[in-house]
Structure 1
Amino acid sequence: MTIDLSRFAFDRAALGEGESDFVAGIPAGFSSRDQLFQALRDGLNFPDYFGYNWDALTDCLGDLSWIAERRVIIAHEDLPQLDRDALVIYLEILCDCVAGWNGQKGHELIVAFPKAVLGQVQVIADA
């Protein structure tokens, strides 16, 4: 897997969020995978069977059948402060899931980060 920066939005204001969008706000300040998984579960209303691991995250982001809105936006307030390996895995999963929904099925998945973290994500993607 690779991290394709074009799969992410770094200008949330340009997204034109509307009432017909499902927006999952992911707060700043996470330093563990468990905290991130809980925020994603809460923000995206993951089903009870969500397993709090990378495979379960991939499965749930690839389904989203419980969300009625077509456009689903995962809006991060900051880049999660995970260890580098975990952050790479997370960003790769997000890229793959955005690509998987690209023009297919019933949803459009958008992953947004603040402009301020673009440089950090670029460094990770280039490594």
Structure 2
Amino acid sequence: MRQGESEAIISAAQTRERCIFDVALDGLTDKGQILDALAQRFDMPRWFGHNWDALYDCLTDLSWLPGKGYVLVLTKVAPDTRAASILTDLLTDCCEYWQDRGVPFHVFAQTTRSADAA
């Protein structure tokens, strides 16, 4: 996702009555910080365990956020980290989970450029 495209994605999701979660990770690279940012934005239930498995469990439940579908827009993601790699795999699995159930669940991500990128 290119910078500035998030508004169009959010507008399209609103038209389709999706639950929208816009999360700016501001280059967070630490697992705990990323989990905290997502937990806050999704208003995770009290039983959320602040680990990758608990994130998957919550994102494949969402019973506290009923909707006609879900759109997660992540901005300022630091792409070259272990946490980003795990998060990508986890969100892919969540998309597949909801797809198998006929529920729209889409993830869009805008990454930050690394300091070494030209």
**Fold equivalence (TM over 0.5):** yes
Which residue number corresponds to residue 98 of structure 1?
A: 95
Contact 1:33 1:82 (8 Å CA) reproduced: no
- Any runs of at least 4 consecutive aligned residues in structure 1 with deviations exceeding 4 A, and if so which? none
1:109 aligns with 2:105: yes
Residue 28 of structure 1 aligns with an amino acid whose one-letter code is L
> Identity over aligned residues, as a percent?
25
Residue 66 of structure 1 aligns with an amino acid whose one-letter code is W
Q: So what's the TM-score if we normalise by structure 1?
A: 0.71
Higher helix share: 1
Instruction: Tell me how many residue pairs correspond in the alignment.
Output: 107
Instruction: In structure 2, list runs of 5 or more residues that go unmatched.
Output: none
In 2, the alpha carbon distance for the partners of 1:22 and 1:54 equals: 22
Q: Tell me: CA distance 1:118–1:38, structure 2 relative to 1, closer, same or farther (3 Å).
A: closer
Q: So what's the TM-score if we normalise by structure 2?
A: 0.76
In 2, the alpha carbon distance for the partners of 1:113 and 1:83 equals: 14
Highest relative contact order (Cα 8 Å, sep 6+), 1 or 2?
Answer: 1
Instruction: Indicate the RMSD between aligned Cα atoms, in angstroms.
Output: 2.5
Residue 13 of structure 2 aligns with an amino acid whose one-letter code is E
Q: Over residues 40-88 of structure 1, what are the superposed CA-to-partner deviations in whole Å (9 max), with x where a residue is unaligned?
A: 1111121111011011011111111111212211111121x37632221
